[in-house]
Structure 1
C-alpha cells in the first residue's frame, strides 16, 4: 500500500523570493531523494516516452530551445539543458508565463536528490488568495508520481487514473496533508498565520479536498 503521510514527510518544501528578469518573483521549491542514479532520474524527467508513466503525456522537442506541451497542462520552451544535472524551461499556462528549474545531485549515501523550483511573478492579491499551495500541491502530486515510479512494485499510479485517485479518500487525504505542509512552509517564510491558514484552506478546496475544521 502507498503511504500518503510517508510521501508527504519525504518532501522538503520551501517558500521564498528572488529577483528574476528585473522583478521580484515568488519561488516555490520542492525536493525529494529517490533511490535511483542521477542518470536514471534525468531520463525519467526528460525522456518523452517515460514522462507519461509518472506525470503527463508530452509532445514537442525536449531539447535546448525546443518547445514542449504537456497534455491538458502547461507548455513552454527549454531555456537551459545541462545533462544529467539540470534544466530550465518556461511554464506557460492560461496566458501567463512562469519558469521552472530542475536540479539533480547524487547523495553521499546513495540515491539522487531532485529539486524543482517554480518561479513566478505573482501579484499580492493572488498570492494572498491561495499562497504557495496553488502550485505547491500540484508539484507534490508530480513528485509523488515520480516517487511511485521509482518505488516498489505495486506502488506506481497510472497517470490516466489521476483524476479518479484524487477523488478517492486517499487522494483527498494527500491534498489535505500537502496543503497543510505548504501552510507550514508559508508561515516559516514569514507569512501571517491567519492569512496563511485562509489561503491553505482555499487551496485545499480548489484541489477537491476538505479543509480541516
Structure 2
C-alpha cells in the first residue's frame, strides 16, 4: 500500500475538490430552522465497501478519526477530539442519520448529519447533508465554510482510503502538508461560490472566505 504523505506529494488535489458538488440552503431540524450544506461525490467503489468504510469502528480511524461507543441504531458514539452524537436512523447500505454534537446535547436535535449512498453504474454516489442551527455570529463570520471545509477534508480522506492509501502520519502533520493547506484554501473559496450561488452578497462571501481560510490555514 502507498503511504498517504507520499501520495500527497504527487496527487493533484484539485481533481478531488472538483469531484464534489456543493450546495447551501435553508432547512429544518427538530429544534427549528437550520442552515444546510450538501456535498455529493461519486467513488469508484462498491456500495457495500463505502458503507463499511463509513460505519466500521475499525476502518473509520484509517481515514477520519478514532471512534468509540455504539454505532448501531440508537447508540451513542464519539469521535476523538471532535463531535459525538446518537444514531437516529440506519438503513444499510443506503442511508444513516446521526446527531452531530460539538458540545452538550440540547433538549431537541439541533444538528443532524445524513449520509445517502446510491449505486452509480458500478460506482457509489455519496450525498452528505449537514443540517444545523448555527449561532448567527458564527454564520455571519464564516458562512458555510466553517463546517464545509471540514467535510471536504473528510470526503478527501475517504477517497484516499478507498484508493488503498495508508495514513501513517499524524493529523497535525497531514494538516500542515502544503497540498492540504492549498486544498483547504480552495475549499473555502468553493464554499464561497456555493454560498453566492445560494443568494449571499458578494461582499459577505469575500469576508466569509477570508475568515474561513484564516481559520483552516493560519498565517505564521
Whether these two folds match at TM > 0.5 is yes
Counterpart CA distance in 1 for 2:168 and 2:30 is: 34
Question: Shift of the alpha carbon at 1:194?
Answer: 0.7
Alignment-derived partner of residue 74 in structure 2 = 65
Q: Is 1:133 aligned to residue 145 of structure 2?
A: yes
Counterpart CA distance in 2 for 1:93 and 1:135 is: 12
Q: Are 2:47 and 2:119, in contact at CA under 8 Å, matched by a contact in 1?
A: yes
Alignment-derived partner of residue 103 in structure 2 = 94
Q: Is 1:24 aligned to residue 37 of structure 2?
A: no
Question: Shift of the alpha carbon at 1:163?
Answer: 1.5
Counterpart CA distance in 2 for 1:158 and 1:85 is: 26
Name the SS of the counterpart of 1:191 in structure 2.
coil
Q: Are 1:55 and 1:145, in contact at CA under 8 Å, matched by a contact in 2?
A: yes
Q: Which moved more, 1:91-100 or 1:183-192?
A: 91-100
Question: Shift of the alpha carbon at 1:196?
Answer: 0.9
Name the SS of the counterpart of 1:62 in structure 2.
coil
Q: Is 1:186 aligned to residue 195 of structure 2?
A: yes
Is the alpha carbon distance of 1:15 and 1:157 closer, same or farther for their aligned partners in structure 2, counting shifts above 3 Å? farther
Give ranges in structure 1 of 5+ residues lacking alignment.
none
Alignment-derived partner of residue 162 in structure 2 = 150
Root mean square deviation of aligned Cα:
1.5
Q: Is 1:75 aligned to residue 68 of structure 2?
A: no
Q: In the alignment, which of 55, 66, 69 is matched to residue 64 of structure 2? A: 55
Give ranges in structure 2 of 5+ residues lacking alignment.
1-9
Counterpart CA distance in 2 for 1:32 and 1:52 is: 21
Q: Whose RCO is larger (CA < 8 A, sep 6+)?
A: 2
Q: In the alignment, which of 91, 96, 106 is matched to residue 119 of structure 2? A: 106
Question: Shift of the alpha carbon at 1:20?
Answer: 2.3
TM-score with structure 2 length normalisation?
0.89
Q: Are 2:185 and 2:217, in contact at CA under 8 Å, matched by a contact in 1?
A: no
Question: Shift of the alpha carbon at 1:21?
Answer: 1.8
Q: Is 1:122 aligned to residue 131 of structure 2?
A: no
